[in-house]
Amino acid sequence: MHFSDYPLDSSLAYLSVNPWFVTGLVEGEGYFSMYKDYRKKTAFNIAFTIEMLKRDQDLMVKIKNFFGCGNISFNEKKRYL
């Protein structure tokens, strides 16, 4: 049986992500970073990031909607994580 013969439940596409799924994904692909802003004497920048291959951009949009904040950006040249 070819994989395309399996019916894909189109209703799945509209499901929002489960909070434990988000934690599991971050355990694998997320990172928390802090760094010194060297332009200013005592300033720091922070970032919470999840980076995946471009094919997963739909998932990134779901994660953004889940948290209700943040931004999505692309790096066209990078191939591996």
Partner 1 sequence: MAAEIFPLTKKKGTCKYSVTSIQDVVKYIIPHFSKYPLRGTKYLDFLDFSKGIHLILEKKTLNDSSAISKNVETILDLINNMNTKRIFNSLFVPTHLTGVPLDPNYVSGFIEGDGSLILELNGTRKYRMSISVDQHYNNYTLLDSLRAVLNIDSLLIVNKTTGVLKISKSGDK
Interface contacts to partner 1, rule CB under 8 A: 2-4, 18-36, 42, 44-57, 59-60, 63-64, 67-79, 81
Distance CA 12, CA 65 (A): 16
* E strand or H helix that includes residue 35: strand 30-36
- Cβ 3 to partner 1, closest distance in Å? 7
Q: Measured from the CB atom, is 39 or 68 closer to partner 1?
A: 68
Structure tokens at 10: 């189109």
11: helix, strand or coil: helix
- Cβ 14 to partner 1, closest distance in Å? 17
Q: Measured from the CB atom, is 10 or 73 closer to partner 1?
A: 73
Q: Measured from the CB atom, is 14 or 28 closer to partner 1?
A: 28
Judge whether 29 and 52 are in contact, CB under 8 Å.
yes
Greatest distance between any 2 Cα atoms in the chain: 63
- Cβ 36 to partner 1, closest distance in Å? 7
